[in-house]
Amino acid sequence: MNEELVIVGKVINFFGIKGELKILSDFDKEELAFKCGMHVLIKEEWLSITSVRKHKNYILIRVNNLNDINLVTKYIGFNVYIRKSDLNLGEDEYLLDDLIGAKVIDEKNNIGEVIDAYIGPSSSYVKVLYENKEYLIPLVDAYIKKFDKNNKILYTTNAKDLII
């Protein structure tokens, strides 16, 4: 069975001599992806996360209880993947990447299609293309009603006011 894999970060280095991997991630659900017991795919190997901690803007993980720097340097430079199903997302939960390609409907009017999604400092945003114009919609309750994952439709309110 082909399960959907999601990229959650990249191993950019090791940290210390005890085998921790330094992960750079902009994944919107880090707390679900990086936890003990989660299985990650790095360099075509499935590994189990055995410890997790934050350090500055990085996530430090130990995998398979490997406690030696020499055993983990081979993972440097490789992306980190997880199975999307392992996130156990609820019916109303979605990933930012799920929004890409969605039709945007504002008060029954089509106001474009999502072409990208970003995590910002205060909230996340989607970039929408409408009549050869691009604009951003913040993913906050003031603009977003709901996202229909099955039909890929993002329902909004007052978002048409953001079109310049």
Q: What is the per-residue pLDDT across 105-138, written as a single tens digit (0 to 9) for each?
A: 998 899 999 999 998 888 899 999 999 999 999 9
Regarding whether 52 and 122 lie in a shared domain, the answer is: no
Same domain, residue pair 29 and 80 = yes
Range 38-50 burial, b when 16+ CB lie within 10 A, else e: bebbbeeeebebe
Do the domain assignments include residue 66? yes
26 part of a folded domain: yes
Number of domains forming the structure of the chain: 2
Same domain, 78 and 125: no
Query: Using CA atoms, how far apart are residues 74 and 77, in angstroms rounded to an integer?
Result: 8
Do 51 and 102 share a structural domain?
no
Tell me which residue range forms the domain holding 55: 5-87
For the entire predicted model, the pTM comes to: 0.84
- Identify the CATH number of the domain in which residue 131 sits: 2.30.30.240
- pLDDT tens-place string over residues 15-57: 999 999 999 999 999 999 999 999 999 999 999 999 999 999 9
